[in-house]
Structure formats: structure tokens, C-alpha cells
Amino acid sequence: MNTQTSLILFKPDAIEKNLAGTVLARFQDAGFRIRGIKMMQLDHAILADHYSHIADKPFFPEIVEFMSKTPVIALALEGENVIAVVRDLLGPTDSQAAPKGTIRGDFGVDKMVNVCHASDSPEAAEAELKRFFREGELFA
């Protein structure tokens, strides 16, 4: 068994379009369990940490503006191969290239306005979960 926990962030477009329940249902229908969930307003410090790999890019300020536009929902999701399966359910990062039937294909707009962020590896998931959930906020 390859039980993992992944971080998913419901981005501002998911919040504004009231898609959180619909998307969460897709994850739960796939057999995944919630280990933690909370709504939070992201500030520049957490966004600079989360997006440190692209903080030097000219589009970084646009990402910060978008991701701090509304609160987001942070979700810790657990299950068998959850990291790969969630990314398959989401579809490609670019919503315009995502097939219908995927979350981004059904609800996304482009590369940034694409409903959710999801961890892309076990190492990223570990770091991201620590970034968005404090000790005692994840449950078995």
C-alpha cells in the first residue's frame, strides 16, 4: 500500500464560484479521506514561501495578488497514491489544455485560474502540509 497525504488548496476562483463542495465531493468519491481542512487568508510571507521556486519570475506579483484576493481552503487529503490520483483528477495545470471530465477542464480558466493547487510529490506534500497546517491540525 502507498498511503499518502497531499495538500490541496482551493484557489480564489473555486471560492468565488462556490465550487469547493463540488470539487471536494470528487475527491471523496475517489475514496480519499479528509485529515484536515480550514479556510485561511494567505499573506505575502506564506505565498513567498509556497512559491519560492518562482518568486524571481515577472509574473510572481500577479500570483500573489490572485492568491490573496479571497481566503482559500487548505485541505489535507489522505489515501492510496493520493498525490498522483488527485493530479489526474485535476488535469493539466493549464485549464485550457485540460480535458472535460477533469476538474480543471470542467471549471478552470487558464494556468493560474485553475481551481486547485495540489502537491506534486511526497516531498512537496510534506513541506506544504507543514506550511499550511500547524501541529495538532491534522487528524488520523
Render each residue's pLDDT in the chain as its tens digit; 140 residues. Answer: 899 999 999 999 999 999 999 999 999 999 999 999 999 999 999 999 999 999 999 999 999 999 999 999 999 999 999 999 999 999 999 999 999 999 999 999 999 999 999 999 999 999 999 999 999 999 99
The single residue of 44, 50, 53, 117 carrying the catalytic annotation is: 117
Is 117 an active-site residue?
Answer: yes
The pLDDT value given to residue 1: 84
Res 133: pLDDT:
98
Return d(Cα 99, Cα 104) in angstroms, integer: 8
Q: Exposed, middle or buried, 16 (CB in 10 Å: 0-12/13-18/19+)? A: exposed
Domains and CATH numbers, the chain: 3-41+73-132 (3.30.70.141)
Looking at residue 51, its pLDDT comes to: 95
Q: Is the pTM of this model over 0.85?
A: yes
Decide: 13 and 93 in contact? Cβ < 8 Å. Answer: no
DSSP assigned state of 102: B
Using alpha carbons, list the distances in angstroms from residue 82 to 18, 28, 96, 112, 126.
24, 11, 24, 22, 13
Answer for the pair 28, 64: CB distance below 8 angstroms, yes or no: no
Of 79, 76, 73, give the one whose Cα is nearest residue 32. 79
Name the strands in the sheet holding 72-80, side by side, starting at the edge strand that comes first in the sequence.
Answer: 33-40, 72-80, 3-10, 116-118
